[in-house]
Structure 1
Amino acid sequence: MKGTLVDLQLSGRVAVVTGASKGIGLAVARTLAAEGAHVVAASRTRTADLPAEVVHVPVDLMDPQAPAHVIATAAERFGGVDILVNNAGGPPPGVTLPRFGFLTPGDDDWRAMFEFNLYSAVRAMRAAVPLMLERGGGSIVNVSSGGARQPAPMNVDYNAAKAALNSVGKAVSEEYGPRGIRVNTVSPGPTLTAWWTKEGGAAAVLAEMTGGDAGTVIKQAAPEMMRLATGRLVEPQEIADAVALLASPRSGSTTGADFVIDGGFLKEL
């Protein structure tokens, strides 16, 4: 039985989570489901790790029609949408990051990066906002990146797409805050997900550059390289906990904010 001090008041609310098959998205879907929300999870494939009660919508979010389809599915199944978590992002399908140097990505690379990390979220918000207005409000949480605020000659296109997402989220929060829709951003630092751990992923790329091994990169080299004050990568659940709080009515006066959960990656005030 939940006490009033910890109840996030999410029971019965309808939540859409994109990129929910693994990593941060999976942790968010699990957390919202555990809090009693009706969760609709969007990803290309369903993994066995998703709770049975979560409704999965198999989509490729590179498809311009996919976000609206996911939102429509949630509305058909549960009568509306209260929460949207735009988590899908990172390397587009078939792309490996990190990618070094401004001249490395070409036009097609830039287009794919913005399609996945910006346009899919814009389309999901465009579909969700009218449904939220019908219900008197809602909460949108966009999962961005510390890289949006820390430009560097690595993943230039990715960081630019996330910076654009931050800007859009702030604008939507200003427009729809008076009508009950809160829009917030969560900016993770380097997080222990498949981006890092998969075969050929970021840890393997950096290991090849440094002459080490992927395990050492994850545990030591990457935290040192990125000057993480905690000395370790962020855990997906740490991001999910912040998302759940922002989705909750208990964050009713929080909108247009950017919650940084990055192990001390960003150093500026």
Structure 2
Amino acid sequence: MAMTTSGRTRIAVVTGAGRGIGLAIVRALAKDGFTVVAGTRTATDDLQAATPHTFTVDLATPDGPDRLVRHTLEQHGGIDLLVNNVAGTSTPSGGFLELGDDAWQHTLNLTLMTAVRTTRTALPNLLERRGAVVNISSVNARLPQPRLIAQSAAKAALSNLGKALAEEFGPQGLRVNTISPGPVWTDIWTSPGGPGDLLAQRAGIARENITDQLPARIGLSTARFTDPQEIAALVVFLASGHVPNMSGSDLVIDGGLLKTV
């Protein structure tokens, strides 16, 4: 079991936990001994197999994050780790002139404001327990793309939020760090009409050859997508406290995509 120095089991809250990166994080933390409360709009079979502590909630609503945190405090007595993973990934892709206010509001609300609201409610308990926050951002915070302009802006704001929180609350023992993945092999890349499909079509790559050919075409030095378990491994490391003076950091895992930035 993942124990604190006082001998109690550590409690983690993960947002956007139903699939992809979030699901991998839940699995890795549970394997490491955490009691993991998974906040999700849809409690999938895979998620319920990973943790018995799922909480179905729409985190896009103003009171959703508050409900998730308060449920965790009531059921488990505290929070040692908060992973802000949920993001507005369903925003329609397109350039600046293709996105109206609704698309911008959706992305900023789910990607940034959910993290703000969840952290704000959890913060007093996190400070009391000298806990940690990990924000899942993106290389697009530094590498904006017209097709992902709203998501890039929201992730840049999330990255900045993490550094600001680390600066303000670091003296009180809170560690806040950010992980910025590049392309991660999830269903976002495999779904018809998704970014993988669109990029493959532009590059003249057949769908069945996306994993073999697309990474190198889009500039990944490793010629492979990042696996969700790799992101999860970084979360476990940051949660471990093995490097207690690491706070305000932004760990990039992108297969070398940012090598020219």
The two structures have a TM-score, normalised by structure 2, of: 0.92
Aligned-residue Cα RMSD (Å) equals: 2.0
Give the Å deviation of 1:52: 5.2
- The equivalent residue for 2:145 is 152
1:114-125 equivalences in 2 (<5 Å): 114-125=108-119
Q: Which of 109, 118, 141 matches 2:103?
A: 109
Q: What one-letter code is carried by the residue in structure 2 that aligns with 1:231?
A: A
Give the gaps of 5 or more residues in structure 2: none
Aligned length: 258
Compute the TM-score of the two structures, normalised by the length of structure 1. Answer: 0.90
2:111 counterpart SS class: helix
Residue of structure 1 aligned with 2:173, choices 175, 180, 190: 180
Aligned residue runs from structure 1 range 65-76, under 5 A: 65-76=63-74
Does residue 267 of structure 1 match 2:255?
no
**CA apart distance, 1:31:** 0.6
Aligned to 1:184, the other structure's residue is in SS state strand
Q: Deviations over 1:88-141 (max 9, x none)?
A: 11413xx44xx2322221111111110111111111110111111222x11000
Q: Deviations along 1:156-178, whole A, 9 cap, x unmatched?
A: 11000000001111000011111
Give the whole-Å Cα distance in 1 for the aligned partners of 2:192 and 2:30: 30
Determine the structure 2 residue equivalent to 1:27.
24
Task: Report matched runs for 1:9-88 at 5 Å.
Answer: 12-50=9-47, 51=49, 53-88=51-86
> What residue identity is the alignment partner of 1:43?
T
**Aligned residue number for residue 202 of structure 1:** 195
Cα deviation for residue 69 of structure 1 reads 0.8
- Any idea what the Cα deviations from partners look like across 1:12-67, whole Å, max 9, x if unmatched? 10000011111111111001001111100011111222235431011111111111
2:124 is matched with 130
- Residues 112/241 of structure 1: CA separation in 2 closer, same or farther (3 Å cut): same
What SS does the corresponding residue of 2:60 show, helix, strand or coil?
A: coil
Map of 1:242 onto structure 2: 234
Partner residue, 1:233: 225
Which ranges in structure 1 are unaligned for 5 or more consecutive residues? none
Shift in CA distance, 70/226, structure 1 to aligned 2, threshold 3 Å = same
Supply the distance in 2 between the matched residues of 1:70 and 1:201 (Cα, whole angstroms): 30
Query: How far has the Cα of 1:213 moved from its partner?
Result: 2.9
Specify which structure has the higher proportion of helix: 2
- The 2-side partners of 1:228 and 1:209 are apart by 17
Q: Secondary structure at the match of 1:15?
A: strand
**Matched residues in 1 for 2:207 and 2:111: separation?**
26
Does the 8 Å contact 1:151/1:159 carry over to 2?
A: yes
Distance 1:162 1:259 in 2: 14
Distance in 1, Cα, partners of 2:61 & 2:211: 33
Deviates more, 1:206-215 or 1:258-267: 206-215
Confirm or deny: 8 A CA contact 1:133 1:179 kept in the other structure.
yes
Cα contact 1:17–1:39 (8 A) shared by 2: yes
Paired residues of 2:205 and 2:213 also in contact (CA < 8 A): no
Amino acid at match of 1:150: L
**Matched residue type, 1:115:** N
- Structure 1: distance between partners of 2:195 and 2:209: 12
Tell me: CA distance 1:198–1:152, structure 2 relative to 1, closer, same or farther (3 Å).
closer
Q: Match of 1:183, SS?
A: strand
